[in-house]
Copies of this chain bind each other. A is one copy, B any other.
Amino acid sequence: MRIGEAATAVGLTPRALRYYEQCGLLVARRTMSGHREYDEEDVQWLRTVRDLLDTGLTIGDVQAVVAMVNAEPDDDDCPMAGIITRRLAELDERIERLTELRARLATGLAHRFDSQFTRPCRRAQPRRGGVPRRVRSIAGRTSSAR
């Protein structure tokens, strides 16, 4: 499996995969001629990387996760343990807020207004100046929300 096929399999681009490799998030085997080779296990890992990035982690954070995975189990000064612990708390908070937000958006869709979205007249008068640049709409994005 070469880079193009692997990239489409996880919904990314070849460029993204090369970038992840450059950052040390994975190491691709090579064919004799130098082409990168991926297998299903790599694709699974790439999906995990994409999920981690989608949750708001940075490439550096995922590097730290990789470092934790590669650390010897007896390496107790591995700094990722505490970081991951803190990250877990943040994830809990985030899941909770996302769930609440989902509910608010759902009822907001039903009522068109709810207690959280009041006084619209004072917010968001079309514009006065000019938005700095063209802002891409949600409509023009991939389904993976990146």
Contact = CB atoms under 8 A, between A and B. Distances in A.
A88 B88 CA distance: 24
Contacts of A43: none
A119 B26 CA distance: 11
A12 interface: no
Contacts of A73: 112-113
A139 B95 contact: no
Interface string A110-131: 0011001111111111110101
Interface residues of A, number: 75
Nearest to A75: B112
A92 B84 contact: no
Task: Describe A's contact surface by its main secondary structure.
Answer: helix
B145 A90 contact: yes
A9 interface: no
Contacts of A112: 68, 71, 73
Interface of A: 22-27, 41, 44-45, 48, 51-52, 54-61, 63-64, 66-71, 73, 79, 81, 83-85, 87-88, 90-92, 94-95, 97-99, 101-102, 105-106, 108-109, 112-113, 116-127, 129, 131-132, 135-139, 143, 145-146
